[in-house]
Structure 1
Amino acid sequence: MNKIAVYPGSFDPITNGHLDIILRTSNIFDKVIVAVLENPDKKSHLFTAEERVNLIKKVTSNIPNIEVESFEGLLVNYVKKKNSSVIIRGLRAISDFEYEFQMTLMNRNLNPDIETFFMMTKTDYSYLSSSVIKQVAHFGGGIKGLVPDAIIDDIYNKIKESN
């Protein structure tokens, strides 16, 4: 039986914390779909959904059981469409748990056949968020070790473009 997990998020941009969850999940499931949320109402994204998909593909190309694509709409509908029944969510700190727990209960209400698995990020990455990365990069701070090396230039270039 093929076990497929869906790891959803905005990934704007992907961080080493996200990559940690992707790598560890890929060792547990036969296939992991990294699902980039495409929210047309949200205007605060640095990268478009297509750019985020491409950045993730760039840093996961060496992991054979990873698929990356964007999606719109309800996560539970997307998960079912992908023949999965597992959602992966990363937790950094206790503060993440309340929101994630609420979302899990709503998803379970919408589709009780879908389970959510929580993965704690490594301690090294517990303070990382895409928002912090963007802010540090915007002010010229170093982001090496916080995001995959392969996308550092992409982040700085995109910030220059957007200014």
Structure 2
Amino acid sequence: MARIGIYPGTFDPITLGHVDIIARAAKLVDRLVIGVTTNASKSPMFSLEERLAMVRRECAKIDESIEPVAFDSLLIHFARAQGALMIIRGLRAVADFEYEYQMAGMNQQLDHDVETVFLMADVALQPIASRLVKEIALYGGDITRFVPAEVAAEVDARVEATGRKGG
């Protein structure tokens, strides 16, 4: 039986921290599915289709077999539909752990056969968060240390089109 893992997220935009987790998660499973979704509580900078395209491009650089897939359902339902028995989550800090611990517990209640596996991002990448990348870009800061080069260009273009804040 193939070991299938799901790494879900909004990836708005995909960061170097995400890329690091994807590369390491791909080594743990026979098939890695990157679940790209929309979180209604977040204000996305990019559409689902744009984020999926970014994730596809960055995953292809790691391993052609990584499968980015859009989804709009409960994560546990998506995991079942993909045949996954593992949900991979990246952790950066204690605040992440508290939220992720609660989510893992709820998912376990919904399906005790699906395990949640936590991976720590590389130490140098742990502070990176998509929300902060967008904020830095909106105020004219350099985001090239936090996201892949093509993503930085896409974020900068979006910010230019919608207008920067501050001066």
TM-score (norm. length: structure 2): 0.93
Q: 1:43 to 1:129 in 2, by over 3 A?
A: closer
Q: Which residue of 1 aligns with 2:45?
A: 46
For residues 14 and 109 of structure 1, the distance between their equivalents in structure 2, rounded to whole angstroms, comes to 29
User: How big is each residue's C-alpha offset from its partner over 1:140-159, in whole Å with a ceiling of 9 and x where there is no partner?
Assistant: 11111210112111111112
For residues 38 and 128 of structure 1, the distance between their equivalents in structure 2, rounded to whole angstroms, comes to 19
User: How big is each residue's C-alpha offset from its partner over 1:6-62, in whole Å with a ceiling of 9 and x where there is no partner?
Assistant: 0001111010000000000111211111101134x4461101111100011111213
For residues 29 and 45 of structure 1, the distance between their equivalents in structure 2, rounded to whole angstroms, comes to 29
User: How big is each residue's C-alpha offset from its partner over 1:70-119, in whole Å with a ceiling of 9 and x where there is no partner?
Assistant: 11111000000001111000000111111000000000011111100000
SS in structure 1 of the partner of residue 153 of structure 2: helix
8 Å Cα contact 1:10-1:38 kept in structure 2: yes
For residues 42 and 64 of structure 2, the distance between their equivalents in structure 1, rounded to whole angstroms, comes to 33
For residues 150 and 9 of structure 2, the distance between their equivalents in structure 1, rounded to whole angstroms, comes to 20
Identity of aligned residues (%): 37
Shift of residue 65, structure 1, vs aligned partner: 2.2
SS in structure 2 of the partner of residue 61 of structure 1: helix
Q: Which residue of 2 aligns with 1:156?
A: 156
How many residues align? The count is: 162
1:94 maps onto 2:94 in alignment: yes
8 Å Cα contact 1:58-1:150 kept in structure 2: no
Structure 2 residue identity aligned to 1:137: A
| RMSD, aligned CA | 1.2
Q: Which residue of 2 aligns with 1:4?
A: 4
Structure 2: 5+ residue runs without aligned partners? Answer: none
8 Å Cα contact 1:12-1:45 kept in structure 2: yes
1:27 maps onto 2:40 in alignment: no
Q: Which residue of 1 aligns with 2:116?
A: 116
SS in structure 1 of the partner of residue 29 of structure 2: coil
For residues 162 and 71 of structure 1, the distance between their equivalents in structure 2, rounded to whole angstroms, comes to 27
SS in structure 1 of the partner of residue 147 of structure 2: coil
SS in structure 2 of the partner of residue 89 of structure 1: strand
Q: 1:47 to 1:84 in 2, by over 3 A?
A: same
For residues 111 and 161 of structure 1, the distance between their equivalents in structure 2, rounded to whole angstroms, comes to 44
Structure 1 residue identity aligned to 2:8: P
Q: Which residue of 1 aligns with 2:72?
A: 72
Structure 1: 5+ residue runs without aligned partners? Answer: none
1:137 maps onto 2:137 in alignment: yes
8 Å Cα contact 1:108-1:114 kept in structure 2: yes
